[in-house]
A and B are shown apart, each in its own frame.
Chain A
């Protein structure tokens, strides 16, 4: 607790010279530290000085305690006179401080119980949730073919650029390999085991896409359409799947 003594007087701070305070007699209390503060303020055009002393006290045990009188000696520079005044004796009662801590512990316990109940409820609902309806998903080939529809009508370069992207994405999904950092030859080398002539079709599609992308003047609309046709043939299910 803090025992505060505030002295206020009109005029400047050097009006009164205050002697250093001696700590009061304490019973069942001990002094932790002191702090003093000096401030100036104005009220109705009159300057005032305020000096505040804070004595931080701590109790030794639960029960009655006493703060003894404190004598403040001062010298009035205006009247050239010394004087003093004495603070009264204060009797206090020290109580146990565990109430706030106990209340916090109860609060924490309540929160944990509520959280636990929440997890139990969530788990119960999960195990009793009815099975979701299975929605038929499109195959990779169907998804790839669907994407090519969006390319229709574009100029050969853009068409075959988009086609290669779709093809590489399809091959990546099918094989689990990262093919975006590979050239056409490297892609072909990493996809061993094509059957039924599909490897040759894949090579033609990739090379024609490259030719369009890096040499735009050589691919016409007819050739671009033919490449798309080969791409469609590549994805046709023939019973033989793409093998790594």
Chain B
């Protein structure tokens, strides 16, 4: 039974009005980086955490901070270092000598938007504490469990340059991130604008455009975006092609050690719906899936040694999958 698409379309047209306002507000501070901002909104609307990989100085922290200001959300930045402890994230019990009791002191995880900077610099125990909070949306301090605020979004960053002395996230943990973004340098004209903004006039103030409550409302609308059966099959075909490429006449079997999990199917569907919502559409088209597909799949397809020997990355392999699977 088809949903009332027309009513949904009108609803989305009304609800997604904030998207343009939000991106315009963020653009006051951030020059370019449309790809990053769009994906941050996808993560926000799908309640999915994001892993960002990019060299220092690309405005990753600034983008997240600006987004937090624009949506009236509480923002916390945590710099991950090798000596970090789990209590530094979740909080701990503090002894009050006057009262003779322990009182909980909540850690920086109790915020809406968390920027976990250089997550691969902290040891596994700290990474696990963060990932557990991401999964459970709650934290236990002492005997008491505290739910985390909604919306709760973790944006973890990794520096692709300095890998010495780091603790790489295991594949199973990386899989918990909905998207993995690869942020690149701005182009020439954007670079000039950045120069002007940061040296001449200074960064402007960002006004709040939408509240966290409205974000939660928008999430419900996103889930209602219509995804046709043909597109569901297309998504499943894409994921299956990473596991059994031979069945899709793709000669990449030797390049893939492990294909994408069912989590990829779920996240790809959700992300495609969010992309359609951002475009003001009540239905998904193949463009939406292809536009977000690389970000959902690049960290879920584990390449083999043979692929590494041929200097191929997971992005190259995912690209071959997209080029080989028929679009409905």
A182-B328 CB under 8 A given contacts A214-B228, A214-B285, A215-B283:
no
The answer to whether B6 and A182 have CB atoms under 8 Å apart is: no
Kindly state the separation between the CA atoms of A182 and B323 in the bound complex, as whole angstroms: 7
In this complex, what residue of B is CB-closest to A178?
Answer: B323
Give the contact-size bracket for chain A.
Answer: 10 to 19
Least CB distance, B323 to chain A, in whole angstroms: 6
Residues of the B chain whose Cβ atoms lie less than 8 Å from the Cβ of A182: 327
Contact of A181 among B4, B6, B283, B323 (CB under 8 A): B323
- Mark out the residues of chain B between 259 and 289 whose CB falls within 8 Å of any chain A CB in the assembled complex: 282-287
Residues of the A chain whose Cβ atoms lie less than 8 Å from the Cβ of B327: 180-183
Proximity string of chain B (307-326) to chain A, C-beta cutoff 8 Å, 1 when within and 0 when not: 00000000000000011111
Instruction: Name the residue among A180, A183, A184, A216 with the largest chain B CB count within 10 angstroms.
Output: A183
Least CB distance, B19 to chain A, in whole angstroms: 19
Interface residue A218 (Cβ < 8 Å from any Cβ of B): yes
The answer to whether B322 and A181 have CB atoms under 8 Å apart is: yes
Kindly state the separation between the CA atoms of A181 and B226 in the bound complex, as whole angstroms: 22
A217-B2 CB under 8 A given contacts A180-B327, A181-B325, A181-B326:
yes
Residues of the A chain whose Cβ atoms lie less than 8 Å from the Cβ of B4: 217
The answer to whether B326 and A210 have CB atoms under 8 Å apart is: no
Residues of the A chain whose Cβ atoms lie less than 8 Å from the Cβ of B326: 180-181
Contact of A183 among B230, B282, B285 (CB under 8 A): B285
Interface residue A185 (Cβ < 8 Å from any Cβ of B): yes
The main secondary structure of chain A at its interface with chain B is helix
Contact of A214 among B9, B231, B323 (CB under 8 A): B231
Proximity string of chain A (204-221) to chain B, C-beta cutoff 8 Å, 1 when within and 0 when not: 000000110111111000
The answer to whether A218 and B6 have CB atoms under 8 Å apart is: yes
In this complex, what residue of B is CB-closest to A187?
Answer: B327
Instruction: Name the residue among B284, B286, B326 with the largest chain A CB count within 10 angstroms.
Output: B286
The answer to whether A214 and B283 have CB atoms under 8 Å apart is: yes
Proximity string of chain A (49-82) to chain B, C-beta cutoff 8 Å, 1 when within and 0 when not: 0000000000000000000000000000000000
The answer to whether A218 and B284 have CB atoms under 8 Å apart is: no
Instruction: Name the residue among A181, A214, A216 with the largest chain B CB count within 10 angstroms.
Output: A214
Kindly state the separation between the CA atoms of A185 and B326 in the bound complex, as whole angstroms: 15
The answer to whether B284 and A214 have CB atoms under 8 Å apart is: yes
Interface residue B203 (Cβ < 8 Å from any Cβ of A): no
- Mark out the residues of chain B between 228 and 251 whose CB falls within 8 Å of any chain A CB in the assembled complex: 228, 230-231
Contact of A217 among B6, B286, B323 (CB under 8 A): B6
Interface residue B290 (Cβ < 8 Å from any Cβ of A): yes
Proximity string of chain A (197-234) to chain B, C-beta cutoff 8 Å, 1 when within and 0 when not: 00000000000001101111110000000000000000
In this complex, what residue of A is CB-closest to B325?
Answer: A181
A183-B287 CB under 8 A given contacts A213-B328, A214-B228, A215-B228:
yes
Least CB distance, B241 to chain A, in whole angstroms: 11
Kindly state the separation between the CA atoms of A21 and B322 in the bound complex, as whole angstroms: 81
Kindly state the separation between the CA atoms of A180 and B234 in the bound complex, as whole angstroms: 13
Residues of the B chain whose Cβ atoms lie less than 8 Å from the Cβ of A215: 5, 226, 228, 282-283
Residues of the A chain whose Cβ atoms lie less than 8 Å from the Cβ of B325: 181
Contact of B9 among A183, A186, A210, A218 (CB under 8 A): A218
Kindly state the separation between the CA atoms of A180 and B2 in the bound complex, as whole angstroms: 26
Kindly state the separation between the CA atoms of A210 and B286 in the bound complex, as whole angstroms: 9
The answer to whether A213 and B9 have CB atoms under 8 Å apart is: no
Kindly state the separation between the CA atoms of A211 and B9 in the bound complex, as whole angstroms: 12
Proximity string of chain B (35-48) to chain A, C-beta cutoff 8 Å, 1 when within and 0 when not: 00000000000000
Contact of B286 among A183, A211, A218 (CB under 8 A): A183
The answer to whether B5 and A218 have CB atoms under 8 Å apart is: yes
- Mark out the residues of chain A between 151 and 203 whose CB falls within 8 Å of any chain B CB in the assembled complex: 180-186
Least CB distance, B191 to chain A, in whole angstroms: 26
The answer to whether B2 and A216 have CB atoms under 8 Å apart is: yes
A181-B324 CB under 8 A given contacts A214-B228, A214-B230, A216-B2:
yes
Kindly state the separation between the CA atoms of A135 and B231 in the bound complex, as whole angstroms: 43
The answer to whether A184 and B287 have CB atoms under 8 Å apart is: yes
- Mark out the residues of chain B between 106 and 120 whose CB falls within 8 Å of any chain A CB in the assembled complex: none
Least CB distance, A5 to chain B, in whole angstroms: 64
Instruction: Name the residue among B4, B287, B327 with the largest chain A CB count within 10 angstroms.
Output: B327
The answer to whether B2 and A183 have CB atoms under 8 Å apart is: no
Kindly state the separation between the CA atoms of A170 and B231 in the bound complex, as whole angstroms: 23
Kindly state the separation between the CA atoms of A203 and B287 in the bound complex, as whole angstroms: 14
Instruction: Name the residue among A183, A215, A216 with the largest chain B CB count within 10 angstroms.
Output: A215
Q: Could you tell me which A residues sit within 8 Å of B by CB distance?
A: 180-186, 210-211, 213-218
Please list the 5 inter-chain residue pairs (A to B) with the smallest Cβ-Cβ separation, ordered nearest first.
Answer: A215-B283, A217-B5, A183-B286, A214-B228, A183-B287
Q: Known pairs A215-B228, A215-B283, A218-B6; list 9 more (Cβ under 8 Å).
A: A180-B326, A181-B327, A183-B285, A183-B287, A183-B290, A185-B287, A216-B2, A217-B4, A217-B5
Q: List 28 A-B contacts (CB under 8 A).
A: A180-B326, A180-B327, A181-B323, A181-B324, A181-B326, A183-B285, A183-B286, A183-B287, A183-B290, A183-B327, A184-B285, A184-B286, A184-B287, A185-B287, A211-B283, A213-B230, A214-B226, A214-B230, A214-B231, A214-B283, A214-B284, A214-B286, A215-B283, A216-B5, A217-B4, A217-B6, A218-B6, A218-B9
